């Protein structure tokens, strides 16, 4: 990926975080800054980088430019609640994703069910499918809520479907992780990889449906399954993956994912089992979202953007510590102490600079684990 393209994505990601704090300083009124915050990172940045990685052409094609322009348009239209054009834009985005997916894989995703298909390729195709389906479902939710009014469910709203744009980024990161896990003799690792694939994909789909229909107890079960699936993936990646510089970043990313899994379990437990009011859990949910978005997802996107550049001139331990302090401490406490919002943005800018623009051979690198 060229320096100019990396600079563009770094600015876009930084802008996304900035919008996440804008409500602290500017009254949004009827507008939801969180939509820009989430869509700019996951859909605009993450979705475009996913398509770039899938095409594997080492250049920005017209198709990618169109997707990025439409994605930004969808984010802006959703923010300003201009829903008619937003629906059409979502359909156009989904068509582009499917064009890229079909060219790389096939029209009917039968590879997802073939055991001889490498798990990392199945994660890759699942990521593209999730993105296109998420766009279509989001457009149908807007159509229902704003125009048709056929179904009413409290959780059936556009803001609930943020996950539909976060999950594709998570899946492509899983694809990167599983691509470096060695195929050892025997069936143990192969079975664990298979379990990991289905537990993550089916677990999130079921969990999403349970949220929409507000089915309480099964949410606890599904979150527990996802928790142990993440723990298993962490183990097999640490134990069986090849030694390379990216491993430090991705282990840190899995740490963020594990952290978000723990906070997710706690959120469901407190809200439903202990009968907490959702407003009391707002900060826990924010901590969960930031760990997932700017921790786990950023690690994956950064590795993809620098995929052909490693090893790069980077002090891994330093940036990992800076990353955790910025996301878990400064970013989370910024709602209580707005001055920390500025510190978080500056720290995040430093992280993006180091990840996206470090050059040359790695030097002075210490092992993280």
| 225 assigned to some structural domain | no
pLDDT digits (tens, 9 = 90+) for 97-148: 999 999 999 999 999 999 889 999 999 999 999 999 999 999 999 999 999 9
Which pLDDT value is given to residue 9?
A: 94
How far is 112 from 198, CA to CA, in rounded Å?
Answer: 10
Instruction: Tell me whether residue 77 is in a domain.
Output: yes
Q: 279, exposed or middle or buried, with CB in 10 Å at 0-12, 13-18, 19+?
A: exposed
Least confident segment among 50-64, 74-88, 167-181: 50-64
Model pLDDT for residues 214-253, shown as the tens digit of each residue: 887 888 889 889 999 999 999 999 988 887 778 888 999 9
Q: What is the pLDDT of residues 139-188, one digit of tens each?
A: 999 999 999 999 888 888 887 776 678 899 999 999 999 998 877 656 78
What is the pLDDT at residue 279? 58
The residue among 336 and 353 whose pLDDT is bigger is 353
Q: Is 181 helix (H, G, I), strand (E, B) or coil?
A: strand
The number of C-alpha atoms within 13 Å of 267 and in the hemisphere containing its C-beta is: 20
What 3-state class would DSSP assign to 361? coil
In this predicted structure, what is the pLDDT of residue 127? 97
pLDDT surpasses 50 at 364: no
Q: Domain for residue 118, yes or no?
A: yes
Measure the CA–CA gap between 255 and 249, rounded to whole angstroms: 10
Judge contact between 124 and 175, C-beta under 8 A.
yes
In a domain, 332, yes or no: no
**For the chain, what is the mean pLDDT?**
86
Mean pLDDT value across residues 60-80: 93
> What pLDDT sits at residue 185?
56
Q: Three-class SS of residue 366? A: coil
Supply the Cα-derived Rg of the chain in whole angstroms: 20
Model pLDDT, residue 172: 95
Nearest Cα to 255, choosing from 275, 273, 237, 271? 237
For the stretch 157-171, pLDDT in tens is 887 776 678 899 999
Residue 49 or 265, more confident: 49
Would 138 be classed as within a structural domain? yes
Cis-peptide, bond into residue 311, ω within 30° of zero: yes
Give the residue among 231, 220, 168 at the shortest CA–CA distance from 195. Answer: 231
Query: What is the number of other CB atoms lying within 10 angstroms of the CB of residue 190?
Result: 14
pLDDT for position 207: 87
- 111 falls within a domain: yes
Please give the tally of structural domains in the chain. 1
Q: Give the domain extent around 101.
A: 31-179
CA distance 130 to 114: 18
Under the banding of pLDDT at 50, 70 and 90, the label for residue 368 is: very low
Q: Give the pLDDT band of residue 93 (cuts 50, 70, 90).
A: very high
DSSP state of 80: T
Res 27: pLDDT: 66
Which token pair is 24? Answer: 């602290």
Q: Could you tell me if residue 243 is inside a domain?
A: no
């Amino acid at each position: 990926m060229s320096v100019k393209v990396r600079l563009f994505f770094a600015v876009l990601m930084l802008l996304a975080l900035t919008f996440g704090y804008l409500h602290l300083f500017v009254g949004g009124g009827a507008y939801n800054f969180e939509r820009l915050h989430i869509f700019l990172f996951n859909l605009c940045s993450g979705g475009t980088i996913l398509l770039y990685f899938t095409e594997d052409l080492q250049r920005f094609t017209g198709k990618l430019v169109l997707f990025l322009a439409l994605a930004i348009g969808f984010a802006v239209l959703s923010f300003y609640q201009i829903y008619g054009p937003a629906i059409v834009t979502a359909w156009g985005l989904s068509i582009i994703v499917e064009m890229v997916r079909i060219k790389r894989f096939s029209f009917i995703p039968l590879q997802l069910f073939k055991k001889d298909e490498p798990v990392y390729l199945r994660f890759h195709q699942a990521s593209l499918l999730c993105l296109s389906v998420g766009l279509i479902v989001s457009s149908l939710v807007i159509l229902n809520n704003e125009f048709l009014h056929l179904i009413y469910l409290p959780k059936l709203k556009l803001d609930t479907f943020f996950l539909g744009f976060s999950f594709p980024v998570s899946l492509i990161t899983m694809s990167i992780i599983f691509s470096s896990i060695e195929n050892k003799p025997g069936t143990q690792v192969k079975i664990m990889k298979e379990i990991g694939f289905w537990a993550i994909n089916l677990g999130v789909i079921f969990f999403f449906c349970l949220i929409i229909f507000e089915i309480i107890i099964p949410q606890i079960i599904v979150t527990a399954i996802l928790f142990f699936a993440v723990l298993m993936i962490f183990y097999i990646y640490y134990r069986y993956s090849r030694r390379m510089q990216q491993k430090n970043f991705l282990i840190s990313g899995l740490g963020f994912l594990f952290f978000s899994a723990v906070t997710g379990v706690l959120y469901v437990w407190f809200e439903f089992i202990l009968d907490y009011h959702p407003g009391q859990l707002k900060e826990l949910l924010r901590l969960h979202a930031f760990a997932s978005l700017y921790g786990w997802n950023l690690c994956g996107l950064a590795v993809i953007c620098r995929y052909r550049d490693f090893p790069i001139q980077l002090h891994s331990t330093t940036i990992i510590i800076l990353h955790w302090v910025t996301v878990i401490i400064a970013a989370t406490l910024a709602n209580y102490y707005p001055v920390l919002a500025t510190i978080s943005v500056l720290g995040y800018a430093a992280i993006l600079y180091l990840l996206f623009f470090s050059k040359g051979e790695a030097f002075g690198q210490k092992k993280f684990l």
